[in-house]
């Protein structure tokens, strides 16, 4: 909903700027694949942000804005003929002291002002906060004056008023301005945000919009239902991967802790998401309109398969196989009834343990980021890391990326061949070697060592047969302790056998 609204606002700003003779250029910030929140949740890299956790904001908003600021600074520097660090750039932001005590404290600490641009971040980037002193009533007073044509603006805010009215259950003070009755009433409390937001237990604004008169926002209900399901499963111990991603190099042990979401659960989420997406596309086509949301594109699905392979989460190309299952074979998955899900809390994921994990094969050359199949036919392309370790070579760049053109070519010409070439029975890391070897994936420069480390842990879990029980901490502890106890017994028996030869 807000994405649709913002696109309309950008068009309105461009039109107003053209009429007013104001030179305008628009940059739209969006997270890269490394900070793609949904890909992160599905791939096993992160978990839903709940409570006071703001990782989602850092991934989707802050990192994207920082990257855009660098691009804007470079553009201004080139235009003015100066170095990027000397570019004169002022960012206008809409923070207000009245929003919350925490927000006010942070604004004061940064020295934000409504009249003077300040180096709020102490990095040379000037920030001006024009409405810092405004309260919510001032905001709606301004909107009311624009609505009553007392103030000229780039928009009449009609859509904005509709959003606030619907999000607040039809009861919002802006309506008083619409009717010409500019009375003192409490400001609207509706808030909007990401459909997958887990920082609030109940998304009242979304519920109000979905129940708005005429069902004009009813298309949002599947997203709200999915969000509620994800929140209900967040502290479900069976929905978590309990194997840590780092071993103790000295002892060879690994911690059993609630890490990211479990492979089985992430696959379930992907099926639900693609089902919701294809149903929206079918509904939009029947209405003769563009889909009102799109959750995962081809690039994201390819990235998901690559990351699943990195962690040994799924069989090779399972994301693309799931897409074909839903889009081509007509399979659909419905969100489970929340009434059937027990109430989980943080206590349900409080188990902690540390068990043996790395054996004599763990540090073997082929357990990490190496393509065994290519090496077997003397076709492996390798590179040497600064620490002397040999790993598979790969395209590297400023960020983890799937090139749009490369993704399109892969989808059009290589998809079916790849699914047949890399079997579901193969080691899950095969998808990584395939995509890296094809050049479809660009890895972040300097990250090859991290890929080697992560794939080493994943391969070890695969060869230990841990993936089916990776969401059961007690089974992991029992299995790993038994495996290493047997290894010690075998070593002891072998030593006794060797000594017996000399007796």
| pLDDT digit string, tens, across residues 329-352 | 999 999 999 999 999 999 999 999
CB atoms < 10 A from the CB of 399, how many?
16
What confidence category does residue 57 fall into, taking pLDDT thresholds of 50, 70 and 90? confident
What confidence category does residue 188 fall into, taking pLDDT thresholds of 50, 70 and 90? low
- Per-residue model confidence (pLDDT) at position 89: 84
The CA distance from 183 to 422, in Å, is: 68
- Least confident span in 152-161, 188-197, 250-259, 452-461: 188-197
Q: Any residues with CB less than 8 A from the CB of 106 and at least 6 apart, and which?
A: none
What confidence category does residue 432 fall into, taking pLDDT thresholds of 50, 70 and 90? very high
Cα distances (angstroms) measured from residue 95 to each of 88, 145, 388, 454: 22, 21, 49, 40
Work out the average pLDDT over 96-121.
92
The better pLDDT of the pair 160, 466 is held by: 466
Decide: 300 and 455 in contact? Cβ < 8 Å. Answer: no
- pLDDT tens sequence across 371-393: 988 998 999 999 999 999 999 99
- Per-residue model confidence (pLDDT) at position 457: 96
Work out the average pLDDT over 157-184.
68
Decide: 304 and 430 in contact? Cβ < 8 Å. Answer: no
Predicted confidence (pLDDT) at residue 171 exceeds the cutoff of 90: no
- pLDDT tens sequence across 114-143: 999 998 777 777 899 999 999 988 988 899
Output the DSSP codes for 230-290. Answer: HHHHTT-GGGB--EEEEE-TTT-EEEE---SB-HHHHHHHHHHHHHHHHHHHHHHHHHTS-
Q: Any residues with CB less than 8 A from the CB of 464 and at least 6 apart, and which?
A: 357, 479, 480, 483
- Per-residue model confidence (pLDDT) at position 493: 80
- Least confident span in 82-91, 173-182, 349-358, 399-408: 173-182
The better pLDDT of the pair 59, 124 is held by: 59
For the chain, the domains span 234-490
- Per-residue model confidence (pLDDT) at position 187: 53
The CA distance from 471 to 461, in Å, is: 12
Work out the average pLDDT over 438-467.
95
- pLDDT tens sequence across 37-53: 999 999 999 999 998 88
Count Cα neighbours of 194 within 13 Å in the Cβ-side half-sphere.
Answer: 19
The CA distance from 434 to 414, in Å, is: 11
- pLDDT tens sequence across 236-287: 999 999 999 999 999 999 999 999 999 999 999 999 999 999 999 999 999 9
Predicted confidence (pLDDT) at residue 144 exceeds the cutoff of 80: yes
- Per-residue model confidence (pLDDT) at position 226: 97
- Per-residue model confidence (pLDDT) at position 313: 95
What confidence category does residue 56 fall into, taking pLDDT thresholds of 50, 70 and 90? confident
Q: What is the mean pLDDT of the chain?
A: 90
- Per-residue model confidence (pLDDT) at position 491: 78
Predicted confidence (pLDDT) at residue 33 exceeds the cutoff of 60: yes
DSSP state of 329: S
Burial string for 403-412 (b: 16+ CB within 10 Å, else e) reads beebbeebbe
The CA distance from 282 to 301, in Å, is: 20
- Per-residue model confidence (pLDDT) at position 176: 52
Work out the average pLDDT over 136-154.
91
Residue 184 main-chain phi, psi, to 5 deg: -80, 110
- Per-residue model confidence (pLDDT) at position 153: 94
Closest CA to 159 of 174, 142, 179: 174
Spacing of C-alpha 372 from chain mean position: 31
Decide: 451 and 433 in contact? Cβ < 8 Å. Answer: no
The better pLDDT of the pair 123, 55 is held by: 55
């Amino acid at each position: 909903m807000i994405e649709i609204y913002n696109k309309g606002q950008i068009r309105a700003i461009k039109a107003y700027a053209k009429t007013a003779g104001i030179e305008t250029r628009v940059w739209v910030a969006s997270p890269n694949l490394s900070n793609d929140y949904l890909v992160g949740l599905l791939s096993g890299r992160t978990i839903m942000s709940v409570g006071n956790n703001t990782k989602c904001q850092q991934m989707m908003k802050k990192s994207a804005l920082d990257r855009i600021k660098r691009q804007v600074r470079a553009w201004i520097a080139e235009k003015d003929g100066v170095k990027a660090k000397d570019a004169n750039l002022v960012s206008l932001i809409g923070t207000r002291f009245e929003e919350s005590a925490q927000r006010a404290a942070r604004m004061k600490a940064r020295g934000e002002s409504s009249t003077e641009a300040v180096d709020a971040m102490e990095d040379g980037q000037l920030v001006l906060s024009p409405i810092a002193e405004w309260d919510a009533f001032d905001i709606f007073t301004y909107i009311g004056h624009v609505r009553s044509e007392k103030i000229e603006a780039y928009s009449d805010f009609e859509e904005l008023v509709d959003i606030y009215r619907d999000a607040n259950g039809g009861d919002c003070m802006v309506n008083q301005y619409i009717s010409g009755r500019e009375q003192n009433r409490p400001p609207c409390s509706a808030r909007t945000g990401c459909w997958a937001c887990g920082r609030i237990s109940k998304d009242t604004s979304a519920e109000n919009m979905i129940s708005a008169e005429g069902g004009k926002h009813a298309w949002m209900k599947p997203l709200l239902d999915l969000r509620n399901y994800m929140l209900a499963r967040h502290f479900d111990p069976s929905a978590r991967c309990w194997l840590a991603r780092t071993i103790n190099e000295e002892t060879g042990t690994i911690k059993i802790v609630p890490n990211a979401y479990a492979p089985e659960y992430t696959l379930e989420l992907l099926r639900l998401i693609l089902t919701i997406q294809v149903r929206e596309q079918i509904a939009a086509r029947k209405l003769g309109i563009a889909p009102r949301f799109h959750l995962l594109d081809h690039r994201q699905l390819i990235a998901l398969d690559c990351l699943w392979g990195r962690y040994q989460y799924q069989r090779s190309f399972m994301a693309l196989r799931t897409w074909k299952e839903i889009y081509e074979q007509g399979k659909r998955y419905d969100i489970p009834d929340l009434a059937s899900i027990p109430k989980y809390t943080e206590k349900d994921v409080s188990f902690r343990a540390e068990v043996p994990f790395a054996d004599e094969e763990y540090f073997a050359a082929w357990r990490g980021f190496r393509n065994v199949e290519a090496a077997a036919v003397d076709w492996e392309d390798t590179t040497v890391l600064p620490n002397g370790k040999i790993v598979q070579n790969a395209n590297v760049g400023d960020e983890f990326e799937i090139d749009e053109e490369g993704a399109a070519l892969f989808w059009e010409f290589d998809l079916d061949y790849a699914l047949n070439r890399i079997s579901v029975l193969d080691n899950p890391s095969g998808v990584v070697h395939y995509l890296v070897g094809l050049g479809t994936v660009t890895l972040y420069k300097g990250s090859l060592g991290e890929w080697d480390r992560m794939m080493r842990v994943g391969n070890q879990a695969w060869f230990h047969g841990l993936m089916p029980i990776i969401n059961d901490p007690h089974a992991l502890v029992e299995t790993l302790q038994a495996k290493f106890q047997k290894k010690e017994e075998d070593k002891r028996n072998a030593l006794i056998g060797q000594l017996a030869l000399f007796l």
